[in-house]
């Protein structure tokens, strides 16, 4: 009996240690040239789905799940100033870095592609990705704006995935992967806010490390080794792990690593207290703020808006002698 007691104690101690595994492994996304971490300068970003949604789910359900995915982060990232503001779907949306609006678009049909538009050819993605998030940033080595995120958009692969809500009545399988939408979106929103995967699929540049300064381990090695390695298990269950079993819902819940990562990208002490809606949404116009061949103009536009807003706030404070509400939801939506 003494042997059994000792065995049980050791086993429970192991599991206890697993549960209390320290935070390891969040990885910030970095720029291509300088390898600086990318970051948001404004206090928030507006997220709006394309109103054509996806045949697999009712539009109202898609909107509810997107908001739930947003809340999965916002209820936990209290150490970060960054806010994800949801805008209800209103019209079809195209994916472009120029609108400074984070759109969520489902891609259906026979291939996972961004469709052709305005005479341009379509761009197709890998069929094995459940979703693709594209983050656009200023790439200007040595400049304070290097790494400043100007836009981020999410495209969901409904060609190879049947998006569902695990835990509710599942529809009959039609041959596509049954993929939990909330799980996928929570992961993609982590990218949108500035996080990279917590494991690597291939070789990394030497500068790409986790918060401990360690190179990322391969996703395969973590998957294989996690049964015996609490640190690997802790990384495996993060929302930002690159690979997940089918019907996985583990990524719905950001873990300590994920939450710490968001606080590192946008620490609350550095809150710029500027939260402007995208111009395209506020005015309804799809103004071309970019300039072919001179992409930084759009970024300068963003920075300009931020400076104007800060000047306006200071003037307002000087006139009233009291602080202005830090987030303006000017849309009234």
| Residue list 299-318, contact with other proteins (CB under 8 A) | 299
Q: Is 256 exposed, middle or buried (0-12, 13-18, 19+ CB in 10 A)?
A: middle
The span of 50-58, 67-75, 178-186, 271-279 binding other proteins (CB under 8 A) equals 178-186
Taking the complex as a whole, how short is the minimal distance between the CB of residue 61 and other proteins, in angstroms?
Answer: 18
- Report 38-57 residues binding other proteins (CB under 8 A): 38
Q: Which of 193, 170, 196 shows the shortest CA–CA distance to 57?
A: 170
The span of 84-92, 101-109, 194-202, 272-280 binding other proteins (CB under 8 A) equals 194-202
Residues 6+ apart with CB under 8 A from 274: 41, 42, 43, 306, 309, 310
- The residue within the footprint of other proteins, chosen from 48, 184, 238, 302 (CB under 8 A), is 184
Question: Rounded to the nearest 5°, which phi and psi values hold at 248?
Answer: -65, 145
User: Rounded to whole angstroms, what are the CA distances from 269 to 141, 178, 200?
Assistant: 25, 41, 31
- The residue within the footprint of other proteins, chosen from 76, 209, 221, 326 (CB under 8 A), is 221
- The residue within the footprint of other proteins, chosen from 89, 241, 252, 266 (CB under 8 A), is 241
User: Rounded to whole angstroms, what are the CA distances from 228 to 146, 214, 232, 238, 309?
Assistant: 40, 20, 8, 17, 52
Residue whose CB is less far from other proteins, 83 or 98: 98
Secondary structure (3-state) at 66: helix
Instruction: Draw the binding track, 94-113, toward other proteins (x: CB under 8 A; -: no contact).
Output: --xxx--------------x
- Report 111-130 residues binding other proteins (CB under 8 A): 113-114, 116, 118-130
The span of 54-62, 79-87, 191-199, 268-276 binding other proteins (CB under 8 A) equals 191-199
Question: What is the Cα–Cα distance from 249 to 82, expressed in whole angstroms?
Answer: 24
The radius of gyration of the chain's CA atoms, rounded to the nearest angstrom, is 21
- The residue within the footprint of other proteins, chosen from 142, 213, 245, 332 (CB under 8 A), is 245
Query: Is residue 174 within the footprint of other proteins (CB under 8 A)?
Result: no
């Amino acid at each position: 009996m003494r042997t059994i007691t000792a065995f049980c104690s050791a086993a429970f101690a192991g599991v206890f240690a697993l549960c209390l595994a320290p935070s390891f492994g969040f990885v910030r996304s970095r720029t291509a040239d300088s390898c600086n971490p990318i970051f948001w300068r404004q206090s928030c970003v507006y997220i709006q789905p394309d109103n054509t949604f996806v045949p697999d789910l009712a539009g109202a359900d898609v909107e509810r799940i997107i908001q739930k995915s947003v809340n999965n982060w916002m209820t936990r990232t209290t150490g970060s100033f960054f806010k994800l503001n949801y805008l209800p779907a209103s019209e079809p949306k195209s994916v472009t870095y120029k609108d400074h609006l984070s759109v969520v678009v489902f891609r259906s049909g026979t291939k996972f592609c961004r469709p052709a538009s305005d005479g341009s050819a379509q761009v197709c993605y890998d069929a094995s990705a459940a979703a693709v998030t594209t983050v656009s940033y200023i790439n200007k080595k040595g400049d304070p704006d290097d790494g400043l995120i100007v836009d981020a958009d999410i495209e969901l692969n409904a060609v190879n995935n049947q998006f569902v809500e695990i835990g509710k009545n599942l529809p009959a399988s039609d041959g596509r992967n049954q993929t939990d939408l909330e799980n996928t979106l929570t992961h993609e929103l982590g990218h949108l806010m500035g996080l990279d995967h917590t494991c690597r699929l291939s070789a990394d540049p030497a500068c790409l490390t986790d918060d401990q300064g360690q190179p990322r381990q391969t996703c395969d090695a973590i998957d294989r080794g996690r049964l015996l390695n609490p640190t690997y298990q802790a990384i495996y269950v993060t929302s930002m792990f690159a690979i997940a079993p089918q019907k996985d819902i583990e990524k719905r819940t950001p873990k300590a690593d994920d939450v710490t990562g968001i606080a590192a990208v946008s620490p609350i002490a550095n809150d710029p207290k500027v939260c402007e809606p995208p111009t395209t949404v506020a005015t309804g116009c799809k103004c071309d703020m970019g300039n072919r061949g001179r992409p930084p103009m759009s970024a300068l536009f963003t920075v300009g808006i931020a400076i104007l807003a800060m000047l306006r706030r200071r003037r307002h404070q000087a006139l009233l002698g009291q602080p202005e509400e830090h987030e303006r939801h000017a849309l009234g939506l």
